Amino acid sequence: TQLLEQSPQFLSIQEGENLTVYCNSSSVFSSLQWYRQEPGEGPVLLVTVVTGGEVKKLKRLTFQFGDARKDSSLHITAAQPGDTGLYLCAGDPHSGYALNFGKGTSLLVTP
């Protein structure tokens, strides 16, 4: 199993602040996905990155895939309470049948 380490584990910020969360591995992935999960719900796919160095933007969210395809970051600008949730990264392994998930970053944005 290719391990994914996410940091920080918990993050509590106020509305309007910026933040970055990280997803790191010693393994190379074909692609990497980011999901957001709200309490009691399933993860919802936000983005897939496939090319080393790739940057994707989704409104106030910016996702970057590392040049070596071993790590990724998610930057949120001007966070809002609706951004609250568990952010999961998941890597597509070269072998095996399913994604490898990190433990997630739990984000709380207070008004």
Partner 1 sequence: ETGVTQTPRHLVMGMTNKKSLKCEQHLGHNAMYWYKQSAKKPLELMFVYSLEERVENNSVPSRFSPECPNSSHLFLHLHTLQPEDSALYLCASSQGMNGAKAFFGQGTRLTVV
Q: Which stretch binds partner 1 (CB under 8 A): 16-24, 38-46, 59-67, 71-79?
A: 38-46
The distance of closest approach from Cβ of residue 89 to partner 1 in the complex, given in angstroms and rounded to an integer, is 10
75 touches partner 1 (CB under 8 A): no
Contacts of 95 (CB under 8 A, 6+ apart): none
76 strand-pairing partners: 19, 61
43 touches partner 1 (CB under 8 A): yes
In Å, what is the CA distance from 68 to each residue of 7, 20, 64, 85? 19, 19, 12, 28
24 touches partner 1 (CB under 8 A): no
State the residue for tokens 């071993």.
70
Work out which of 40, 59, 82, 111 binds partner 1, going by CB under 8 A. 40
Residues in 46-65 at the binding interface with partner 1, rule: CB under 8 A: 48
